[in-house]
Structure 1
Amino acid sequence: MTQNKALKAALIVVDLQEDFCPPNGSLAVTNGRTIASVINCLLKLPWTLRVATKDMHPEDHISFASNHPPPNNKPFESSIIIANPHNPDETQTTRLWPVHCIAGSSGSNLIPELAASLLDQIVEKGQDKRVEMYSAFCTPFLKPKIVETGLANTLREKGITHVFCVGLAADYCVKATAIDAANEGFETAVIREGTKGVEQGDEADKKLVQELKQHNVNMVSIDGPEVGKIRDLR
């Protein structure tokens, strides 16, 4: 009981936006909208902090296939190498995507099925047209860092010890956010039932679990003991 009293956990709902959900999302994740009910149940638990993230891109964002010349500009297929704007020796290879989550567009809105009234904070990301940004914490460039959202500082100010991640997509923005949370020193988990991946199926799940483990992130169940400790805080 003493351990539970010391536990302060945050739930991060990653990019549960219209453009990532069927039926009309330009970058819809299969069955992405169906996780809203699970996430709403989770949001009702006694978290110290509940955060949602939103992709919020400019029209000329570097990740959009349409902003690159053919023939290597096919959404989902083509990749590019992006260099750190302040250090060309630091690079990232990233996949190109359809135009999505343009700032101010309906596609950038959180889906109405999400109980947004339960959220404490919304973090916007991906505004810098020069770099890809899957994580809700910062871009992948570290030498030097290009963009930081301030989320890590917010979590520390709230005394957070544990971070749980849900949302879209499991194998991109959820994964990157969870890994960065762990790198920031928080005990971190992804709740399986609260997320869907671009790649789905048993093999994709096994691959994701392995990748998360390599970065000290656990994949857990909504009915497992990890989430159970949050329920016990009531």
Structure 2
Amino acid sequence: MHALLLIDLQNDFLPGGALAVKEGDAVIPVANRIMNLFDLVVATQDFHPADHGSFASQHPGVTVGDTFDLHGLPQVAWPDHCVQGTAGAQLSAELRRDAISHVVPKGTDPTVDSYSGFFDNGHKKATGLHALLQSKGVMELSIMGLATDYCVKFTVFDAIELGYLVRVVLQGCRGVDLQPGDVQQAIADMKRAGAELLPDALI
């Protein structure tokens, strides 16, 4: 079975959002166009409590973009985003919902971030995504969404480690590029890890 995994297509990552990814809204039509090509469509949802440890606002003297230690793990400081119960945490209203079978929340533990759709950044707790996919007999994953150099990349790494055949839909990804070149490096890293990089037209 081949599933499409939509990473964090949420209002706060779209233009005007709290952590807007440049051209992030351009990926929504890609998702809508290709959903029907897959046996299963699953979305991840960044879903933080208001006091999440990744927020710069929780750490006096830390500014957005800084890297600091969060309970033993390196952490980029982000603006408050995708807070539970806010409009910013919701999936884009432009995203087709009829074909999305499941929405998997991540980043719910205030003490650790969760870039990957599968695990927290310390790989101590699973989100339930792997168990869901296994229960459906999924062996192949096409992955797209936001952002290329963070949540997409780490989801791809974990998917490959878990034994899935992974394709990345590049037209359906946009990145943060906190440091210039981060997105291109992420693409190279995903390819090196074993992911197949697909232009949308080749699905």
TM-score of the two chains, using structure 1 as the length reference: 0.82
Report 1:217-232 matches (<5 A). 217-224=195-202, 227=203
Indicate yes or no: 2:66 matched with 1:74: no
Tell me by how many angstroms 1:215 deviates: 2.1
Partner of 2:76: 95
User: Separation in 1 of the partners of 2:172 and 2:126?
Assistant: 25
Tell me by how many angstroms 1:205 deviates: 4.4
**RMSD of aligned alpha carbons:** 1.7
Tell me by how many angstroms 1:117 deviates: 1.6
Residues 48-77 of structure 1, C-alpha deviation per residue, up to 9 Å, x if partnerless?
Answer: 21001111101110000000011xx1112x
Gaps of 5+ in 2: none
Query: Identity of paired residues, percent?
Result: 36
The AA in structure 1 aligned to 2:109 is D
Report 1:1-234 matches (<5 A). 8-22=1-15, 24-45=16-37, 47-70=38-61, 73-76=62-65, 78-83=66-71, 91-142=72-123, 145=124, 147-199=125-177, 203-224=181-202, 227=203
Paired residues of 2:118 and 2:158 also in contact (CA < 8 A): yes
4+ residue runs over 2 A deviation: 202-206
Larger radius of gyration: 1
User: Separation in 1 of the partners of 2:22 and 2:139?
Assistant: 32
User: Separation in 1 of the partners of 2:182 and 2:122?
Assistant: 26
TM-score of the two chains, using structure 2 as the length reference: 0.94
User: Separation in 1 of the partners of 2:119 and 2:181?
Assistant: 28
Gaps of 5+ in 1: 1-7, 84-90, 228-234
User: Separation in 2 of the partners of 1:131 and 1:96?
Assistant: 12
Q: Match of 2:185, SS?
A: helix
Tell me by how many angstroms 1:19 deviates: 0.5
Tell me by how many angstroms 1:17 deviates: 0.5
User: Separation in 1 of the partners of 2:184 and 2:56?
Assistant: 29
Tell me by how many angstroms 1:204 deviates: 4.3
Q: Match of 2:201, SS?
A: coil
